[in-house]
Structure 1
Amino acid sequence: MVEDNASNPSFARWWRQVLFVPLLHSKWLTTESKARLTDGVTRAERGHRGEVFLIVENHLPIQEAYRMNCRERAIDLFSEYRVWDTEENTGVLIYVNICERKLEIVADRGISAHVSPTVWNAMCEKAVSGIATQKTEESLAELLDEVGQVLRQYYHLERDPEGNELSDTVVFLK
């Protein structure tokens, strides 16, 4: 979800990260669900020149949680995983923070020139609604499909190129 980049320091956010117990919240993320989501990323990348990257994180890093919100974390990971480093600047990062119950989409400047923040926000809100009803994997799979459709709309290819600029494997940060 696109929000103000300026994060306010927050003890409440920091405490949520400290007290978060991953075992109670990440049961849905099994080896099988990771494989299905990885397949979802692969399907989302068919038929266009864009790249989709999915990161699921239990909580913000404790040492940064006081000052950093989920949007800032997503932007940091966008850089760290080099999602910005695609040939046509068409990388899209989907970041899920389980503790904060937040989902962020960070799109590179190539695709951002075509897609307004309200479209990304609507996608995020729909997925977050599904996650709230305990349909996390299904909601993320649907979101991946929607992102793929948007990329096909602006960067359509008749035939997929050989290779992949970014890995399709879902990244899970504990």
Structure 2
Amino acid sequence: MKKFFLSLCLLMVSFAAGAQERLPEVILKDIEGRTVQTDTISNNGKPLVIAFFATWCKPCNRELKSIDELYDDWQRETGVRIVAVSIDQAQNVNKVKPLVDQNGWRYDVLLDPNGELRRALGIQSVPYTLLLDGQGNVVYKHNGYTDGAEAELYEKVKEVAGRQSL
């Protein structure tokens, strides 16, 4: 009986280890007011970065500016797509589009004013970055930002892009 129980436990652990985290189904709006269902966000089999930010968060804005400076090269080399998700609350959501326009960010920008997506993913603070592979599985998470952290993110993006081109 002990062997059976141990085997059952090992089997359950192996299934749990094989389960991949994906984006939950949450309905958000983009900065143009269009509805987006988060579990359908994809990049046609290529890497996808989801960057959570807030207009008042200086490290978030530095991260998104740094990535923006390299975004053309990243896209050309890996096909990566970046989606920025603002966690600004409803009273501040009107500050998001001016910030995006002022910085010339070309990312798709979603609004999470009620924190539904943030909570569903267990995100406590921003900046918070997720990297998804071409099948929509979360393969990398990073919380916080220091100058140069975008280089580590890009290395992860290249790893994912390389695995998918095999």
Q: TM-score range by the shorter chain?
A: 0.3 to 0.5
From the CA coordinates, give the structure whose radius of gyration is larger. 2
TM-score, reference length from structure 2: 0.39
Structure scoring higher RCO (CA < 8 A, sep ≥ 6) equals 1
